[in-house]
Structures are given as structure tokens and as C-alpha cells.
Structure 1
Amino acid sequence: MRIGILEDEATQIAIYELLFSPTQYQCEFFGTISAFIDALRDKRFDLLVIDWMLPDGTAGEVLEWIRKNFDWHIPVICVTSRNSESDVVNVLHMGADDYFVKSSRYFELLARIESLARRSREKPSSILHFGPYKIDPENQEIIVDGKNAGLTQKEFALACYLFQNTDKLLSRIHLLEKIWGLAAEIDTRTVDTHISRIRNKLHFSSQSDWDILTIYGYDYRLQHAKVAETIK
């Protein structure tokens, strides 16, 4: 299980490292909101732990961005020194799945993380098969001929969407809105970059059974390469 932790205090990071070292959780730390969001755009995390006060903003801003761009499927725990009822309610209303008030009881935080992880694993998921490709939604992996293709979170989401819409014309703008969110302030060339990476990692080509075609220079279509001709 991969955990992304947004925390800027060295002492707090040292506590987390001690707390998680005996576990099988893989933790990656970020000291600023900007670095954290950059990582979320390109990496896959199963759970997020966010400190409330940060050098470049608050957890509320991060939660708003996460829920706009990732919907509600990523569990988020907000860590705060505030413990009034109104503060807790606000944190939950902003989109956190749970909260932890800073104290010496850090095993409680570990227990909360394990609880969220267990609930997440219990969600039903179906393995999807497309020829040699096995899509595992729970682990966000695509297996090709028995090997993990090593897709990032966004690449996985984009590849799944393409498979689920085989033979449909999908514009860059449409894909940008569906995968990165309506509020995503990024260039449409980001879609081109991710399409290129997916083609390489999943071995799509005109010589294989599957390929992503570029249509009229701005649309994409996933289909069997043997029955299609790229239109430029």
C-alpha cells in the first residue's frame, strides 16, 4: 500500500518514519502543497495523509483539489492540532474521510489508516479482460502477458477509459476533463504525452492487435489495429 504524506515539519516526519517502518506501507513525503499536487498528477497512491497547516496553504485547499480531480475514491486522513467539534466537522465536510488530532497516541493514527485501508480493500471490483490485457481496478494495474505494465495513476485511469470506450472518438479536451477533472488547468499536450506513454507501456502499435489512432489531429480512438487505418 502506497501512502502519500503531506507534512513539512522534520520532527513529525521522523515520527511517521518510526511509525511506519515496521509495516509494509510504502510512504512518500512532501513538504509543500505544490510538490504534493505535482506528484498526485503522475503517481498512484492508495491513501493520503495531510497536515492541516503548510508553508503554501492549508489542507482545505488540498482537499478541494483532490476531490475535484480524483473524485472520492482516494481515502484521505487530515492531521490537525485543532480538536474542537466545529474544526472536526469542517475537516470532514471539506472531503476528509477521517481526522487525527496531533498527540502522543500515534498508534491510533496507524489504526485509523488500517481501518480505511481495510474498507477500501473490501470494495467490490471486477477484473476486466481485453485480449492479453488484464485490468485490475483494485490495485490500479494493467497486466500484459503476466507482467505489470507499470502505469502511473493517471496513465491507468486514461488507459481504462480508452478500453471502456473502444472504437469511440475521444477529443483531447474530453479526455482532459474526464481524467484530470473539469477544473484542471493544464495543457492539452499533457494528454498527448500520456497517450504516448500508454502506447509504449502497453505495446500498442499498428503491428499489434490494439492501437490508439490519432484522428484528424485532435481525436483519439482505441481499436484493433488490424482493422483500422490511421487518419491524419
Structure 2
Amino acid sequence: MNFAIVEDNRVQAEVLKALLKSEGHVVEIFAEGQACLDALKERTFDFFVIDWSLPDIGGDEVLKQVRAVCGWEVPVVFCTARTEEESAADILRLGADDYIPKPVRYMEFMARIQALLRRRQATRPTLLRFGNIEADLEGRRIRVSGVEVDLTQREYDLAIVFLRNVGKVLPREELLSKVWDRDTDVDSRTVDTHASRLRKKLGLGGENGLMLSSVYGQGYRLDTVRAG
């Protein structure tokens, strides 16, 4: 999963990053809140860890914008030295899923992260439908007009990333990290090849209700359209 850590204490941020990476997650650190919000215009994250006190804008403002852009499905945890009961209640009322007091106890941090990930997995939909395309997430299969399409594992994984981010530009680097995160011998041309295959196999030229477009200098975007 893609984690965003919004924390201006570099040592603290690097420790949290190392812990999350040890579990196989992809992690990006932001020392300022606005830098994280700017990144949301181009990239997607599956989980946010936010410090309340940041050098530019408050963590509460970051949280507000994250909810506006990413919705309420994405987990958000606050790490903060403000541990009095009133502050903790404020954090949760503002829309955080949990908070962890500083100094961070690292075993507790990972346990809380894992608990939220389990909860998120349990509440995620098992079917995605757009136009004539239906993705069965439990069975790892995709059907077009009711007919199952023969896809490789990577093609399926890439298709699901697109389907979960309809309308959003996804940079090639992000697609590589989400689908080929443990492979070091692939580059952006691999994304282009697989995207081209998906266009043909799933009919992503608009005929089935979805259009996969290459965004010059950025990446790919999947949009809903009226099926022909």
C-alpha cells in the first residue's frame, strides 16, 4: 500500500518509514502539509500518518483536504504530542481514524496501523462496476458484458488500480510501485505495454463505458463515458 507520512521531524519520519517498508508498504515523506496536498493532485495514497503541528499549515487542515480529495475510506492516523483528552477528542471529531501519542511506541504504532488496514479490508466492496465492465475482487476476475476476460496477474492488478481511481491521473511511477513494487527490472515501458493490452482486452476505448487515456508527460487516466 502507498503511505504518506506528513511529519517535519526527519528522524521520526524515517523511523516510521522503515517500519512500514519492513511490512512491504511504499512510503513517501512530506515535511510540510502543503507539499502533501500538492502531491494529491498527481498521486494517490492508501493511508495517511499526519503530525498535528507542522511548520506551514495545521495537521487539521491537511486532514480536511485529504477527506475532501480522498473521501472517508482512506485511513488517517495522527501522531501528536498533544495528548490531553480534549485534543484527542478534537482529532477524532475532525475525521481522523485514530491517534498515537508522542513519543511514539513503535510496536503500538504498527499494531494500530494493522488494525485499521484489517478494518478497511473488511469494509471494501467486493465488486466494481462501470458500464459493461465488472471486476470481482474476491475471485480476481473481470467480466465484460458478462463474459470473463483472460488476464495475466499483472494485467488484472493494473486494471484494478485504474478502476479504483477513475477520473484521476496516475503517473507511471506510481503504477509501477503499486503493481510491480518488488520487481527492479521493469520500467515505464512495461506500464505502457500493459495499458495497451488492457485497452484491447477490456475495450477501454469508450465502447464499454470507460476510456483509458494517456496524459502527456504524466501518466494515464481512466474516465467514464457513455457507452456506444
TM-score normalised by the shorter chain: which range applies?
Answer: 0.5 to 0.7
Task: Note the residue ranges of structure 1 that are not aligned, 5 or more in a row.
Answer: 160-198, 213-219, 226-232
Cα 1:152/1:51, change in 2 over 3 Å: farther
TM-score, structure 2 normalization: 0.63
**Shift of residue 133 of structure 1?**
4.2
Cα separation, 1, equivalents of 2:224 and 2:131: 17
Cα separation, 2, equivalents of 1:49 and 1:201: 36
One-letter code aligned to 2:69 = N
Cα separation, 2, equivalents of 1:45 and 1:137: 19
- Indicate the larger mover: 36-45 or 110-119: 36-45
**Aligned partner of residue 100 in structure 2, secondary structure:** strand
TM-score, structure 1 normalization: 0.62
Q: Considering only CA atoms, is the larger Rg found in Structure 1 or Structure 2?
A: 1
One-letter code aligned to 1:13 = A
One-letter code aligned to 1:86 = E
One-letter code aligned to 2:101 = V
Cα 1:150/1:127, change in 2 over 3 Å: closer
One-letter code aligned to 1:99 = Y
* Counterpart contact for 1:19–1:107, Cα < 8 Å: no
Cα 1:100/1:126, change in 2 over 3 Å: same
Cα 1:221/1:111, change in 2 over 3 Å: closer
Give 1:156's match in structure 2, choosing from 156, 165, 169: 165
Q: Which residue of 2 aligns with 1:54?
A: 54
One-letter code aligned to 2:227 = H
Cα 1:2/1:54, change in 2 over 3 Å: same
Per-residue CA deviation, residues 92-144 of structure 1 (Å, 9 max, x unaligned), is 11111100111251111111100000000011513235688444679xxx998
One-letter code aligned to 1:223 = R
* Counterpart contact for 2:166–2:224, Cα < 8 Å: no
CA RMSD of aligned residues (A): 3.4
**Aligned partner of residue 114 in structure 2, secondary structure:** helix
Cα separation, 2, equivalents of 1:45 and 1:38: 13
**Aligned partner of residue 4 in structure 2, secondary structure:** strand
Task: Note the residue ranges of structure 2 that are not aligned, 5 or more in a row.
Answer: 144-148, 169-194, 212-222
